[in-house]
Structures are given as C-alpha cells and as structure tokens.
Chain A
C-alpha cells in the first residue's frame, strides 16, 4: 500500500518538483527581495494566516439558521450559494433556449441576433442593473454569475443540436420516432450531450471568475470573494492571498470533479472519438 503510494508519488515527481520550486522561489523573493508583507506576503506568512483563520468561528445566519461555524466554512457556503443560484438559473434557461434554437431554424433566426448583441457585454457591466432590479441580496450576485454562465451553455447546446447528423434523425424516423419532441428527446439530446457538458464546464469556469466581483458590491457579509475585498481594506494582504488561493483550488476541484463525473458516467460511448 505504502509502496504503491510511493510509486504514484514518484510518477508525479516532475510535477511535485515544479510546485515545490515555485514555493521556494516565492518565499525567497518575498523575504529577501521584496521584504514587504504588504506588497508580497511570503509563503510562510500565508500559511500562518491560513492556520490562524481556520480556527476562527463566526455565525451562520442563513434562512433563520443560527450556527457557530468556522469562518472559512461560512464564506464557502455563501460563495457556493451565490454560485449555484447563478448556475442553476443558467442551466434551466440556457439548455432549453439552446435546444430550441438548434432544432428550429426560424426561431434561431429570431433569437440569434439578440444573443449576439447581448453576449459581448461583460457580465460585470450588469452590476448596476443587478442592484437596481434585484437589490443587495444573494440573488443579485447569482444574477451576475447567471449572465456569465448562460451564454456558453446556450451556445454549446445550440451547436450540439445543430450538428446532429441527418442520418441519425432519419434512422430514428424510420424506426418510428416521428414528432419533434421524440426526436429531440431520443436523438438530438443524447447526441448533443458531450457538447452541452463541455458548455457547462466552460460556464462553471466563467461563473467562478465572476464570483469575486459579484460579491464585491456588498450582497452579503460573507463569501470568499467578499472577503478578498474585506481584507484588502484592512490591509491584510496575507489573508487576501489565502482567499485567492482558496478560490483557485476550489475552481480546480469543481472542474475536476465534474470532468470525472462526465467522462466516467455520461460519455462512455465517446471513448472512440478523438477530441
């Protein structure tokens, strides 16, 4: 068992060396060259800040709940809440819109120009309207994440649906699958699934990127993104870095978990396809 672990480790030796060297370099630059905690906290500063904050508790006051929980956990819960509000709305709206656009050509011609005009507007440009329309609450943060996430989902669903080969549709028709509803359900959707899931992955990436800004304008007193600004105002740059790294690792983890799930469960049939 230990031997096997060791083998896995030694198989990843180059990656490990790369990460370790980066950390050592960071430490050296911070301690000997920059010599200023405000401009660049060192690796050890960040580690101590992390250890320090891990043991701090705060109150989770969500939905009338009243628990004492570690600060980091509360921040995480808030951020995931913002994130999922946005993502779920993006899925619920983006997938059907993309499906309908991909399947019905006329509807595509109606909707496509609108989407092409709205899509290039950066999600953060919506902040004023998010506040005006929704107010300073978690839904407003979710709205910004929704704006960032919905377009990749629409576009990938649309592309997947549009590229359904004629031969599969005709084969299904000959086998007795005749209505649009059945053809979408049994042919187009499974065919487009790889493209849709790729869109969801992109959407989750974009949504995660929007998180910091979405929490910045004070929708709640907690959240990983909010805390970056909070600690910046307090000039705790080591804690700013702690939260930055947490955002990075969580983003990585979410992406990996999703990919593992998709490749393992959903897309067995794609093994033969070179992407």
Chain B
C-alpha cells in the first residue's frame, strides 16, 4: 500500500528576520496506491521541498502529510528516495550500497545479500556487483541508487529529478526501465522532473506547480495507453498544453 495524502502543507524558509521565502503555500493533494505522479513546475516552486517533507527529511510549518493514514514525522524505510545528486556512498561497493538499508533494518547480511542480487539484476548491473561508485557512469550510479532505494521494499518511491544529469538517450532507457520496475514492484512513485517529455511519458497524473508562493496549479490526468509512444499525436497535444501552461507561469 502506498497512499500519500498531503493536507494544507505550508513551508516557509526564513533567512535573517525579515526576508523569507514561502516555498509551499497551503498545498493539498492525494496520491493513490500504485500511482505514478510527476511534479513539474518552474525552478524554485517547491518541488524538492514537497518531496523532502513527504520523505520526512524536512518538516512542514503547517499541515500534515500521511502515508496510508499514518502521519509522517521522520524518514522511514517505507519511503525510498532517489536524489538528484549522486548519493551512493563512495566508500561502499555497489552491492554494499544496496544492502545498506536492509542491514539498518537489522536483516542479516547473508539474507540481505541474497535480496540485493535480485535488485542488482532488476537494474541490470550484475557485472558491477563489486565495483565502487567511482567506476560507474552517471546512469549506472542512478540505477544503483534506485536498486538501493528498492531494497528496503518501500511502498512509495520519491524521486527528485533522478535523471536530470543524464544525456537524452540514457534518460530514455532509464525511463523505460523505471516503468518496468514500477509495474513489477507495485509501488507508488512520486517523480519530480523539469522535462515535460519525461512527465508525459511516465505519469498517470502530472502535477503542475507554480512559484512564489509554491502552489499546485493544476493536476492533469494522463490517459494515454501504455506502453506509450513518445511521438504519438495525443502525446504531442498534451505536451503542448503543459508547455503553454508552464510558459504562462514564467511570464507571469
């Protein structure tokens, strides 16, 4: 199960005593179990902040966030997170990175290793089992980061522009792989992106946000059948609609 409910969440960053940024202003939304939701919006509209609040790394000033009816107070293994920056522990090999979460849950190393091999296979990196992060390409690093997040068997996977630093081709491949993983593991995915193309290819629901103060402007349901064709007419129409809406945001 992975139902996320965000209720009237506000988050204000105060610098000094007078200047402050309202990163999120009274944001409410619901995400159903096994949904794939993409967040898109201009830079600084609070996407990362929202994701961090759901993960428990940050706390809202007002409002609450619930996972399956339980209030989120702190980070927990039921919510996996893939960061925009490369976040693999550089001092651990690929396999040791993946078993880190399970070991923290107190699972024995032997059992954790057995499971980890499964996730390694899921992201297609068996060959690099004992490599260190510096030996991996950017795309491989993010694959391992996904495997590491999945190894905790979270019900929700939070992804903050995980493919932002990758080239277009690697990006397309990883998007495809992510969809396969999502379908196989039956998890809810909240995915932040800058790319309209990515959102249209991946999402069930696209959440359009606007900046200063950060609010949810519109939620678009994407009914395109899967597997999706990036170049289909319907996809193009949808892309154009989102782009126009974003453009209005920027010139506002």
Contacts and interface: CB of A to CB of B under 8 A. Distances in A.
Nearest to A177: B104
Nearest to B104: A176
B91 A176 contact: no
A187 interface: yes
A190 B91 contact: yes
Contacts of B83: 167, 170-171
A273 B134 contact: yes
Nearest to B78: A176
Interface in B73-90: 74-77, 79-81, 83, 85, 87-90
Contact of B75 (A174, A270, A271, A273): A174
Contacts of A174: 55-57, 75, 79-81, 149
A174 B105 CA distance: 12
A36 interface: no
Contacts of B76: 176
B11 interface: no
Contacts of B55: 174
A176 B91 CA distance: 18
Contacts of B91: 190-191, 193, 269
Contact of A272 (B56, B75, B89, B132): B132
B135 interface: yes
B152 interface: yes
A168 interface: yes
B46 interface: no
Given A174-B81, A175-B148, A187 B89 contact: yes
A239 B75 CA distance: 66
B100 interface: yes
B105 A271 contact: no
A218 to B, nearest CB: 46
A interface bracket (residues with beta carbon within 8 Å of B): 20 to 34
A44 interface: no
B104 A175 contact: yes
B13 to A, nearest CB: 15
A269 B81 CA distance: 24
B241 interface: no
Contacts of A269: 90-93, 132-134
Contacts of B89: 168, 171-172, 187, 190-191
A178 interface: yes
B214 interface: no
A268 B133 CA distance: 11
Nearest to A272: B134
A178 B80 contact: no
A172 B105 CA distance: 12
Interface in A256-275: 268-273
Contacts of A182: 104
Nearest to A189: B91
Given A174-B79, A174-B80, A190-B91, 18 more contacts: A167-B85, A170-B83, A171-B89, A172-B89, A174-B56, A175-B101, A175-B148, A175-B149, A176-B101, A177-B104, A190-B89, A191-B89, A268-B132, A269-B92, A269-B93, A269-B132, A269-B134, A270-B90
Interface of B: 55-57, 74-77, 79-81, 83, 85, 87-93, 100-101, 104-105, 132-135, 148-149, 152
16 contacts: A167-B85, A167-B87, A168-B87, A170-B87, A172-B89, A172-B104, A173-B75, A174-B55, A174-B80, A176-B101, A178-B75, A269-B92, A269-B134, A270-B90, A271-B134, A272-B134
